[in-house]
Amino acid sequence: MNSIEVLSRKIESLADGLPPTTIMEVCGTHTHAIRRYGVRQLLPKQVRLVSGPGCPVCVTAQEDVARALALARLPNVTLFCFGDMMRVPCGTASLSSLRADGADVRICVSPMDAFEFAREHPLREVVWFGVGFETTTPHTAALIEAGIRSGVKNLSILCAHKTMPNALRALLGGETRVDALLCPGHVAAITGADAFAFLPEEYGISAAISGFEPEELLLAIFALLKMQASGTPKLVNAYPRVVNPAGNPAARSLVETYFEPCDALWRGLGEISSSGLSLRPAFAKWDAGARFSMEPVAAVPASGCRCGDVLRGRIEPNECALFGQACTPEQPLGACMVSSEGACAAYYQYEGAGI
């Protein structure tokens, strides 16, 4: 018997004496891994996994996507973004469609690509569309630092970075009802495991930080069920080979140098206090929003798209009437169908359109 079978059996026997238990994962990479490895199918019926707001592209507010489109339409701007952002629909357009129409929109693997381009093209205004959680923000901070050190003048940031703790507070303080949380291993590698200690302390909910291999996910789920069984919710670090209690102080210090907390708009969750990051006033000239005098942009999601309900764990992707019909990975109507880490895209890829 391999380790996955052993863990599955242990989970099954533990869950036997438990009431139905709902566990939410709040990490896009977990969402993808759970579908890819068929983790749900390895669990007994009374243990239900639901996806939460963990995919960076999915939670980026439509208004921020609209601001990126507005910048990309400016003739002297070159906009850099991660590949997944390209196909997020916004009205009748996307960054991808703007590029097809001649806008200078470029995909990069690292924000440093934007820095190199800015240095080589001093007559272009280069904008980095920064999205993502604590894992990716240090890269944007490093970009600003490189810009300051080199004296480059034509580089700025459209900042839509987010932080996880207050989003979880908003979720758990609202209508979402879950029994336990699988916490994101990547984020915890930066923040430290202790950043999630508030979950049992404030909400009496069990939490386990998990890695991304099937054994690691099952181990974290087993830890959560053990806490459910004992009635003693705690935080368990089930990913100790990567995550320590304090995280990565160098990365956190880099971020704190350039960014400060701000209220942020999340797709499907609305505005959440202190859940985003904005540039500190001393670095305002690196803010694309200020540099280009951008007005707030109203943006309406596609009619019928239920990304908000998916991101809150209220529905499964296939409960959206558009799933697999009008909305597919080839022609996504909502952000959750764009990224491979999106709940709708992962469901479609691994469980099909008709399930």
The footprint of ligand SF4 (CB under 6 A) covers 305-307, 310, 317, 320, 322-323, 327, 333-334, 336-337, 344
- Measured at CB, which residue is nearest to ligand SF4? 334
Unique residue bearing structure tokens 């109507």: 333
Largest CA distance in the chain: 67
d(Cα 125, Cα 129) in Å, to the nearest integer?
13
Minimum distance of ligand SF4 from residue 194's CB (angstroms): 34
Nearer to ligand SF4, 182 or 333 (CB): 333
Minimum distance of ligand SF4 from residue 158's CB (angstroms): 23
Minimum distance of ligand SF4 from residue 347's CB (angstroms): 8
Write the DSSP string, 202-243.
Answer: HH--EEEEE-SSHHHHHHHHHHHHHHHHHT---EEES-TTT-
Picking from 162, 161, 204, 163, the residue whose alpha carbon sits closest to that of residue 181 is 204
Tell me if 130 sits within 8 A of 137, measured CB to CB.
yes
What proportions of the chain, in percent to the nearest 5, are helix, strand and coil? 45, 20, 35
Nearer to ligand SF4, 112 or 315 (CB): 315
Tokens coding 49: 């996994």
Nearer to ligand SF4, 111 or 324 (CB): 324
Minimum distance of ligand SF4 from residue 119's CB (angstroms): 38
Nearer to ligand SF4, 181 or 327 (CB): 327
Q: How many residues does the chain have?
A: 355
The sheet that has 155-161: what strands, in order across it? 104-107, 77-81, 125-132, 155-161
Nearer to ligand SF4, 67 or 306 (CB): 306
Nearer to ligand SF4, 13 or 325 (CB): 325
Half-sphere exposure of 193 (CA within 13 A, CB side): 19
For residue 55, the Cα-to-chain-centroid distance in whole angstroms is 3
Q: Rounded to the nearest 5 degrees, what angle is found at the Cα of 110, between the Cα atoms of 302 and 148? A: 110
Nearer to ligand SF4, 239 or 348 (CB): 348
Minimum distance of ligand SF4 from residue 320's CB (angstroms): 3
Nearer to ligand SF4, 67 or 312 (CB): 312
Minimum distance of ligand SF4 from residue 342's CB (angstroms): 7
d(Cα 55, Cα 75) in Å, to the nearest integer?
31
Tokens coding 24: 């939410």
Beta bridge partners of 265: 271
Tell me if 35 sits within 8 A of 63, measured CB to CB.
no
Minimum distance of ligand SF4 from residue 306's CB (angstroms): 4
Minimum distance of ligand SF4 from residue 333's CB (angstroms): 4
Nearer to ligand SF4, 62 or 136 (CB): 62
Beta bridge partners of 236: 208
CA terminus-to-terminus distance, the chain? 30
Minimum distance of ligand SF4 from residue 258's CB (angstroms): 33
